[in-house]
Amino acid sequence: MKILVTGGAGFIASHVVDAYLDAGHEVTVLDDLSKGKKKNVAPKARLVTMDIRDPNLSTLFAQSGFDIVNHHAAQIDVRRSMQDPFFDASVNILGTLRLLECCRTYGARKFIFASSGGAIYGECEKPAQESDELRPESPYGYSKAGAEIYIQFYGKYYHLPYTLLRYANVYGPRQDALGEAGVISIFIGKLLANEPVTIFGTGRQERDYVSVWDVVAANVAALTKGENGIFNIGTQLPASVNALYDKLAKIHGRNVKPVYAPARPGELERSVLNTAAAQQALGWRSVRSLDQGLEETYRFFLEQKPAPAKA
């Protein structure tokens, strides 16, 4: 199949690209490289440097004849969405709409969308199910939920099949430890640099941490399964930030106490996803334990660390 992967130079999507190539598909990566890195893109993939909002996107579709669009490109910074909701919506909603229009016009057979389970459900007293009320607490969460609604509209009225994947907190190799990034990559980066690690709030906040390898498996399954469905992709096992740091400090081999700072406004206390629907419809389940995934991720960052300069 001919597959377009947007955001394919980024953390999660570059791994998806690798898996699609390994399965024998022809893959085009669309990325503006504002966050993604060329080094993440496999040599066998075709890289097109373009913003998903670019009007020339239609020319790419007309020339390429994509069978499937896997849409990962997004504005993912929650704090930026609070500061500039217009920009957030222009990327996450209008950019998605441009892709959907191209799919409709040029006959794509399926649209796979990377959504956010953590941002659209709000506080989770119990593992969130796909049928639960959506309670976003940031423009980013609202823009992801809005994109989902437009995708479902195109499915209903233009008969464009789709699969929506609502990710928990994804971590793993290639995640950027600089700036706004996952807490795991930030903690590892600080530990390797022998810098203080800051935990915001009490550290008792719980999250559902899912390995990027498990997320990739869900994207592979979505190529042929889960038509017109919405699926949580997580582990169903919450872990506190404190426990997460303790595990990483143990892997690192240094018992360095973290520094605590005031909680960030609007931060959730608990976010965890029920994955029963994905298990049934996609034949998918998380298989990597948190301990195994953290070990793999730590080893990746350790290998990437520059060697100290010689005197």
> Does residue 264 have a pLDDT over 50?
yes
The four Cα atoms 54, 97, 143, 52 give a dihedral, to 10 degrees, of -20
**Phi, psi dihedral angles at 4 (to 5 degrees):** -100, 125
The rounded distance, in Å, linking the Cα atoms of 64 and 22 is 20
Query: What is the CATH classification number for the domain harbouring 241?
Result: 3.90.25.10
Residue 93 sits in the same domain as residue 56: yes
Residue 300 sits in the same domain as residue 164: no
> Does residue 290 have a pLDDT over 50?
yes
Q: List, in sequence order, every beta strand (DSSP E) within the chain.
A: 2-6, 26-31, 46-49, 68-71, 110-116, 162-167, 169-171, 198-200, 206-211, 229-233, 238-240, 259-261, 270-271
Residue 268 lies in a domain: yes
Residue 265 sits in the same domain as residue 155: no
Structure confidence by residue, pLDDT tens digits, 91-107: 999 999 999 999 999 99
The structure tokens 């999660």 sit at 12
Residue 202 lies in a domain: yes
Structure tokens at 248: 């990483």
Residue 177 lies in a domain: yes
Residue 42 sits in the same domain as residue 62: yes
Residue 293 sits in the same domain as residue 220: no
pLDDT of residue 171: 96
Q: Which of 117-121, 174-178, 285-289 has the highest mean pLDDT?
A: 285-289
Residue 6 sits in the same domain as residue 75: yes
Residue 134 sits in the same domain as residue 251: no
pLDDT of residue 309: 42
Residue 296 sits in the same domain as residue 228: no
Residue 166 sits in the same domain as residue 176: no
Q: Contact, 3 vs 68, CB < 8 A?
A: yes
Report the domain count for the chain.
2
The rounded distance, in Å, linking the Cα atoms of 19 and 268 is 32
The rounded distance, in Å, linking the Cα atoms of 181 and 297 is 14
Structure tokens at 144: 């992801």
Structure confidence by residue, pLDDT tens digits, 204-227: 999 999 999 999 999 999 999 999
pTM greater than the 0.85 cutoff: yes
The rounded distance, in Å, linking the Cα atoms of 116 and 12 is 13
Residue 151 sits in the same domain as residue 269: no
Name the residues annotated as catalytic. Answer: 140
Residue 24 lies in a domain: yes
Residue 278 lies in a domain: no
Structure tokens at 287: 């298989």
Structure confidence by residue, pLDDT tens digits, 117-160: 989 998 898 999 999 999 998 999 999 999 999 999 999 999 99
Domain extent, residue 147, equals: 2-170+210-233
**Phi, psi dihedral angles at 124 (to 5 degrees):** -120, 100
Residue ranges of alpha helices (H) inside 158-240 are 183-192, 212-221
**Mean pLDDT, rounded, of the chain:** 94
Structure tokens at 132: 């639960």
> Does residue 246 have a pLDDT over 70?
yes
Residue 80 sits in the same domain as residue 112: yes
Residue 244 lies in a domain: yes
Contacts of 116 (CB under 8 A, 6+ apart): 140, 141, 144, 166, 167
pLDDT of residue 310: 46
| Stretch 110-119: mean pLDDT | 95
Residue 226 sits in the same domain as residue 77: yes
